[in-house]
Structure 1
Amino acid sequence: DVGDKLFYDYDFGDDWQHTIKLEAVLPRCDFGPRAVCVAGRRDGPAEDCGGVYAYELICAASDPQNPDHADAVAELSYVYGEFADPEAMRVTPFDIGEINEALAGLGWQGQDEPDDSNAGQQRNYPGPLDELVRAARTTAGKRELRQLIGKARLDPPVLVDAATASRMVRPYTWLLDRVGDDGIKLTGAGYLPPAHVEAAMTELGLGEEWIGKGNRENQTLPVLHLRESAANMGLLRKRHGTLLLTSHARKLRGDPVALWWYLAKRIPPKSPDACETHAGVILLLALAAGAAEDPDRVTARLLGAIGWVNGDGTELTELAAGQACWDTKTVLRRLGALTDDGPGHSAARPTAEGVAFARAALRNWP
């Protein structure tokens, strides 16, 4: 009823006490927004900042124009330690336009969004996907990620037969067999000797991908990228100038199906750069979902929604996004999971087997 109040305590540690009062009941327009912010004041506190007292302290310490700024900085250092950074606990400026844009993004379930009767409940996404959705800073980004996850059909199991697995992983099994139990002594510059490069170009049919003699690895990128991707996926290692199989590779080299699943569980390759990891996961998601757009464009947009930008603060381009997921693309291309329409790998598209591989990767992270 009008005048009723709802009391809500958010975060038992910070103890933010909310009072929601029903001011009036008005007719609702069928085509109106679900919710609108009509007014507000003061900036929003950072999560787990410490409650009302800490919020006031952080506001003063973050504002050089505040008359209590110097005292607040000193007190903040005393309370949180000398390395306390007010910027790391900065408030969120109140922007009614941005708030209403976010509320509008929560509008009616889109035609392309999978039906989900538990839409308001916690979804059980695989770990990296859950991390992506949580990391997205915009409502539109979260919504697009959820739509792609729904279209990727991650519930049904992925099956791969021995013939398909053997054909897809052949470049890697060839390389593992070539390295063998004894390994390959690399050149002084750390590359494969010419005989092995020539064999790879001939026996794997890589001649159409590259020009030149095909006997020097540093000038024969298909072979170089194959070896580097095998190392990135934990199949090869170097020791005292010799290329060797890892323990994983020794177990998997005679079992193409097991190797296929191993690669699915390890992609995207490990990287110290979180942007590259996010880009690889987004690429796999776009491929598994059958996104009509160029995957690089989807990746650039969603990386931006997460907050990734160039060093100068500008938005990531499609080219930059493609570079960020390069290691993932290299594995997919060598598996025959990804093809390219046009020069320069400008428009990557998944094969049918590539869609299945991407789904397997999204479903089966360890």
Structure 2
Amino acid sequence: MTDILTLRVVLDGSNPEIWRTLELYSDLPLIEVGHAIQIAVGWENVHRQCFHNHAPDEPALKGDEICWLDADLMDEPLHRDLALSTLESALAASGGVLYFEYDFGDRWIHRVSLMHRRPADGQAPRMILLEGELRAPIEDSGGLSTWYEYLRIISAKDEARNYQEVLDWMRWRVGPCGNIDPTHFDIDVARRKLALHAAGYRGKSVLGTWLQQVPTGTERFFGKMIAQTELTLDPQFAKPSWLEQILEPFAELIRLCAGTGVKLTHAGWLPPRVIEELLERCQWHGIDYESGTTKRENNLDTVRWLRDIAEEFKLVRKYRGHLIATEFGLELLAEPGTLHRYLLDCLISGMNSKIHRDCQITLWIVDEMGLEGFEERADTSNAMLGALHYADARTGEPLTRDSYAPTSALWHLIDRITNFHFSLPTEPNLPARRAALSQLRCYLLSGFEHSLVLEGN
């Protein structure tokens, strides 16, 4: 029978205590228990791990020491395989207390105590972080004594003890998303990391399908980045209330072009009277800088983009000097909400190529991480693009945020319309626009009620 076990994990020797409380299923393999502890505490899985049935630095009875570790390291009779032993069996062999060791060089030892057990009901997550205090020492800091020495140097700003060098190393090691404050523990980020890991970095959302194609072994890296956002593997974000109004101009263009369509000028533009009517229907007066009183398509970028995208997505087409609505466009328009869902699908699956789509998803994730400076966003974007091994098809050079601009024309148009929609009478309301675009990114990346994106993959 499987139980849910409540475990208290304390970093041995920490003062004040660095601790976490987790709930784990009793039948979890020890290798997964170790990964759960690492994520909850704050380690990065860049070193070896093992479990002991006794405190490793204290004497034990001869022949009574059990160590659970990776199969390739097993060379003693009392060694056990991490992957083949369960949490339940290890606790039974150790009397209810285990010692988890991470990084055999720095030797971070954690006391793992069984606090409570209850029957599993099949509904609770297989691993969950309940509580915790204080951040873990920074990875590769040399052990607890060295970590505390670093903290003393930083606290005293001791220039004689290489204060600036220590500070620079700490900031470099945690990266743009990290925090070097020893009292800071972001439990929400840790919980999201653990939830991503527990789900195997797979889910029904657009984000979930994107994660399935990242290179093997990099899931934890991307999970660390995603955990800085509000994104999840399962659809949960509500459709923005303003989104239908933003996408409605496509419907208005199809309506204008229904039947015999709109006769174009000799130069192939929409006539000024039609432009005027379209602007009125969309409430777009003032969306572009307009010189003169006559509305001309070649002077109105937003109208021109709307028409170009509508033609690209086969909602309208040119035929014998007219712009007419296609049967496909009219069919989408006939069923409420279908046109809008189709356009949202096109934001992801309708991009120029798979790499175009995946790069856009990558940059959307970075944009959701809340990084303040452009340099931090660029460095994080480049690290993620590099880990995905994206390269320019022509030159073979790795893609970077600077060398690749994957924003689709449709996203660019939505950006423009959103900016106008959230403008004040005298100036754009940029905070509201940024919040709106963030809301839309989260809605798209978490998946929405239509399934064309997932089916298209």
Alignment partner of 1:231 is 2:311? yes
CA distance in structure 1 between the aligned counterparts of 2:372 and 2:314, rounded to whole angstroms? 32
- Of the candidates 348, 367, 378, which is equivalent to residue 268 of structure 1? 348
Higher helix share: 1
Matching residue of 2:260: 182
- 1:241-280 aligned at under 5 Å gives the runs 241-253=321-333, 257-268=337-348, 270-280=350-360
Aligned twin of 1:306: 388
Query: 2:292 aligned with 1:210, yes or no?
Result: no
Q: Which residue of 1 aligns with 2:230?
A: 151
TM-score between the two structures when normalised by the length of structure 1: 0.56
Partner of 2:443: 360
- Contact 1:232 1:270 survives alignment (8 Å): no
Question: 200, 213, 225: which is aligned to 1:122?
Answer: 200
Could you tell me how far 1:225 is from its partner in structure 2? 0.9
One-letter identity of the residue aligned with 1:122: G
1:329 is aligned to 2:408 = no
Aligned AA (1:329)? W
Shift of 1:223: 0.9
| Cα drift, residue 240 of structure 1 | 4.8
Distance in 1, Cα, partners of 2:196 & 2:205: 19
Hey, what's the Cα distance between the residues in 2 that align with 1:278 and 1:255? 30
1:77 — aligned with what?
Answer: none
Measured against aligned partners, the alpha-carbon deviations of 1:108-135 in whole angstroms (never above 9, x if no partner) come to: xx84352525625523234753454333
| Structure 2 residue 403 is matched with structure 1 residue 316 | no
Question: 2:273 maps to which residue?
Answer: 195
Query: How many correspondences in the alignment?
Result: 281
Give, in angstroms, the shift of residue 278 of structure 1. Answer: 2.2
Q: 1:360 to 1:223 in 2, by over 3 A?
A: same
SS at match of 2:323: strand
SS at match of 1:196: helix
State the percentage of identical aligned residues. 17
Mark the structure with the bigger radius of gyration: 2
Q: Against the structure 1 CA distance between its residues 304 and 5, is the aligned structure 2 distance closer, same or farther, given a 3 Å change threshold?
A: closer
Task: Classify the secondary structure of the residue corresponding to 1:243.
Answer: strand
Counterparts of 2:138 and 2:236, CA distance in 1: 41
- Where structure 2 has 5 or more consecutive residues not aligned to the other structure, the ranges are 1-64, 80-100, 110-136, 143-171, 179-184, 453-457
Consecutive unaligned residues of structure 1, counting only runs of 5 or more, are: 8-18, 37-100
TM-score, reference length from structure 2: 0.47
Equivalent residue, structure 2, for 1:45: none
Q: Aligned-pair distance for 1:189?
A: 5.0
